[in-house]
Amino acid sequence: MIDIQNQADNREIPLQKVGVRGLRYPVKVLDKKNKVQTTTANADLFVNLPHHYKGTHMSRFVEIFHAHHRDLSMKGFLNMLNEVRIKLKAERAFAVVRFPFFMEKTAPVSKNAGMMCYECTYEGTVTENSKEFYVTVEVPVTTLCPCSKAISKNGAHNQRGIVRVKVRNTHFFWIEDIIAEVENSASSALYSILKRDDEKFVTEQAYANPRFVEDVAREVYIALQNMPEKYNLDGEFSWFSVEAENYESIHNHNAYAYVEK
């Protein structure tokens, strides 16, 4: 059959990215407690397109992703991208894969168990001579305002926030360890199930650990720097960024802080 995509293009305009977006697929990711977790990903897969090619072969992206969807470790992810690059005869291949990561957490006093969901993203770029891989983890937290506590006779305002950690991954680590360090850097962690004794504990814990959004960003930064020693990681993160954002409870805007290594 005739293959229009393989025909030459005479407009001499290279395209930086062509491919598929919004591919929803079941995938398997590593899980510290259960070894493997099955979840649902939303994947974007691209290659560059030289000016002399009319188009790319869209179906091949899906074929290759299907062959690798049961192994989305860093090694499996980069192997998938390299196969995309080679089979589509491209100089560079890109991918962004977003997925919910689930963890069972027990309430601090009652020990009732429930599931928490954390949004995660894998991003990668592969050429013949280079590979880059990034992991982003979004962790919801509670923060209590130090200023409000200092100036108020009764209580202090608090709010939910989100902390986004993005690391350039050059060695193995567990997503759960990132989550733990972020939660420890906030006023309190969040839980899906809280009985009255748990609610009392969390409220008092947050009151005893007030944090500005700037405090959270700095504390997470320190935690990421100390992770290699604490978790016996094989080397430091060569680059990372931390975004802390509070969904303010007494303002009609959010508070925000950002830092990167």
pLDDT in tens, 134-147: 999 999 999 999 99
* φ, ψ dihedrals at 235, nearest 5°: 110, 160
| pLDDT for 3 | 63
| 43 touches 93 (CB < 8 A) | no
One domain, residues 147 and 242 = yes
Q: Which residues of 48-78 are buried (b: 16+ CB within 10 A; e: fewer)?
A: bbeeebeebeeebbeebbeebbebbebebbb
- Indicate the pTM of the whole model: 0.92
Write out the residue range of the structural domain in which residue 50 sits.
Answer: 9-98
Assigned domain for 91 exists: yes
- The rounded distance, in Å, linking the Cα atoms of 153 and 4 is 74
| 213 phi and psi angles, rounded to 5 deg | -60, -30
Domain final position from 53, 79, 98: 98
How many structural domains is the chain composed of?
2
- Distance of CA 132 to CAs 129, 139, 169, Å? 11, 23, 8
Q: Which of 40, 74, 98 is the last residue of a domain?
A: 98
Residue 186 clears pLDDT 90, i.e. is over it: yes
**Are 146 and 239 in the same domain?**
yes
Regarding whether 211 and 145 lie in a shared domain, the answer is yes
Other Cβ atoms within 10 Å of 17 Cβ, number: 14
Which of 52, 78, 98 finishes a domain? 98
CB-based contacts of 232, cutoff 8 Å, min separation 6: none
Residue 52 has pLDDT above 80, yes or no: no
% of the chain exceeding 90 in pLDDT: 82
What is the 8-class DSSP label of residue 108?
A: T
Nearest to 184 by CA among 210, 223, 232, 228: 223
Q: Are residues 194 and 140 in the same domain?
A: yes
6 has pLDDT over 70: no
